[in-house]
Amino acid sequence: MDVKGFVRRVVITHPRATARTVSEAMVTEGTGAIVVLEDGKLVGIISERDIVARVVAKGLDPSSVAVSEVMTREVHTVTESVSVGRALEMMAQGRYRHLPVANAAGQVIGMLSIRDLVGQRIGELTLKNDDLVAFISADGPGG
């Protein structure tokens, strides 16, 4: 199964925004990560974790710290056709909880959240488990 049905609306900011502004946007939008674009090009991603580790924990003023100073610059993306399993694998290996989705031209069109993908995977495995239990429990020939 591909990730197409799990792609959420992407929230975008620019490198000159402040950590405070981005934090407020995360709360308002109910998201844990925001994509950073400059001239329409992906230049980074900023997450709650980035803000906590690179601003709050260092005692910096969120109102004066630019996103460009604390964002994650090396951002991996996927297309809507990537499988749920592959997206989860990338997120686990990279140790991140959000993954931008890009179109063929490289433009960011959405965001994946590990929470949504794990929830879907749990549902799949629960169904598979139920089927296996029913098969094993069936009282048929040789049973």
Confidence (pLDDT) at 136: 81
Fold match flag (10-75 vs 77-136): yes
Confidence (pLDDT) at 143: 54
Can you tell me which residue has the tokens 């169904």?
Answer: 127
Q: Domain 10-75 is of which CATH architecture? A: Roll (3.10)
Predicted confidence (pLDDT) at residue 84 exceeds the cutoff of 80: yes
For residues 91 and 95, give the distance between their C-alpha atoms in angstroms, rounded to a whole number: 6
Record the pTM: 0.81
- For the residues of 101-130, what is the DSSP string, one character each? EE-TTS-EEEEEEHHHHHHHHHHHHHHHHH
Predicted confidence (pLDDT) at residue 131 exceeds the cutoff of 90: no
Kindly provide the b/e burial profile for residues 105-115, where b requires at least 16 CB atoms within 10 angstroms of the residue's own CB.
eeebebbbbbe
- Torsion, CA 30, CA 90, CA 86, CA 25, rounded to 10: 10
Predicted confidence (pLDDT) at residue 42 exceeds the cutoff of 80: yes
- Whether residue 112 contacts residue 7, with contact meaning beta carbons closer than 8 Å, is answered with yes
Residue 111's identity, in one-letter code, is M
Confidence (pLDDT) at 141: 62
The model's confidence at residue 142, banded by pLDDT at 50, 70 and 90, is: low
**Is the CATH number of domain 77-136 3.10.580.10?**
yes
Q: Where are the domains of the chain?
A: 10-75, 77-136
Mean pLDDT of 120-134: 76
